[in-house]
Amino acid sequence: MSKPYSESCDQNKAPILALIGPLFRDAASVLEVGSGTGQHAVHFAAALPHLTWQTSDVPANLPGIRLWLAGAGLPNLPEPIVLDVLGDWPSGPFDGVFSANTAHIMGEAEVAAMFLGIGRVLAPGGRFALYGPFRMAGHHTSESNNRFDAWLRARDPRMGVRDLDDLRSWAEAGGLRLVEDVPMPVNNRTLIWERVASS
């Protein structure tokens, strides 16, 4: 098998790193949900050697992630773990969580489960950075996102660009609150959530 490759990862890794570098400056451990190819993990772990970057995904993607990790040979990239958001979660706690382009691929129940799971494994005060296209108050932020959403839903009705209001309510159930909404290139955003300390 050859290494899987995602062109969008190559294009968005630099602007994402510019944002999560400072965000995870004091973190020792970050969990990535839905690592995909593993390209993001290699780029971020190389630039952030002070932390351990834990990749994860559904079983089918682990062999590809392993190839990227083996090629990088970085000490802060442990073996990828199986993590289906509807299944068992690692025990944690992690100081940070990252996920890119997952919320529009997962069904709504899975996105809600992702927030619940992250609420359990993220340390109080820790940040979850969620990158991707999002709708704001029922409106797409661009015509291209509108077309992308229609294309996704035609492919699989469970998929679709998620609305920030829905994300907020799923996040609240997981004990997370939105602290920053950062516009990114090509009509994407990074939503930064904080694990609220339990009272």
Ligand X SMILES: C[S@@+](CC[C@H](N)C(=O)[O-])C[C@H]1O[C@@H](n2cnc3c(N)ncnc32)[C@H](O)[C@@H]1O
- Would you tell me which residues interact with ligand X (CB under 6 A)? 6, 9, 33-36, 40, 57-58, 61, 83-86, 100-102, 105-106, 110
Cβ density class 81-90: b for 16+ within 10 Å, e for less: bebbbeeebe
Minimum separation from the CB atom of position 25 to ligand X (A): 22
Minimum separation from the CB atom of position 190 to ligand X (A): 12
Closer by beta carbon to ligand X, 84 or else 163: 84
Minimum separation from the CB atom of position 37 to ligand X (A): 6
Minimum separation from the CB atom of position 199 to ligand X (A): 30
Other C-beta atoms closer than 10 Å to the C-beta of 46 total 14
Tell me how far apart the alpha carbons of residues 130 and 181 are, in angstroms, rounded to a whole number.
Answer: 10
Closer by beta carbon to ligand X, 27 or else 113: 113
Closer by beta carbon to ligand X, 38 or else 175: 38
Tell me how far apart the alpha carbons of residues 38 and 184 are, in angstroms, rounded to a whole number.
Answer: 21
Tell me how far apart the alpha carbons of residues 153 and 163 are, in angstroms, rounded to a whole number.
Answer: 14
Q: Which residues pair with 112 in a beta bridge?
A: none
Minimum separation from the CB atom of position 10 to ligand X (A): 10
| Alpha-helical runs (H) found in the chain | 7-23, 39-47, 62-72, 108-121, 143-155, 164-173
Residue nearest to ligand X (CB): 36
Tell me how far apart the alpha carbons of residues 11 and 74 are, in angstroms, rounded to a whole number.
Answer: 22
Minimum separation from the CB atom of position 86 to ligand X (A): 6
Task: State the number of CA atoms in the 13 A half-sphere of 197 facing the CB.
Answer: 2
Closer by beta carbon to ligand X, 72 or else 196: 72
Closer by beta carbon to ligand X, 27 or else 118: 118
State residue 51 phi and psi, 5-degree precision.
-125, 160
Closer by beta carbon to ligand X, 61 or else 76: 61
Between vectors from CA 80 to CA 77 and to CA 82, what angle results, nearest 5°?
A: 155
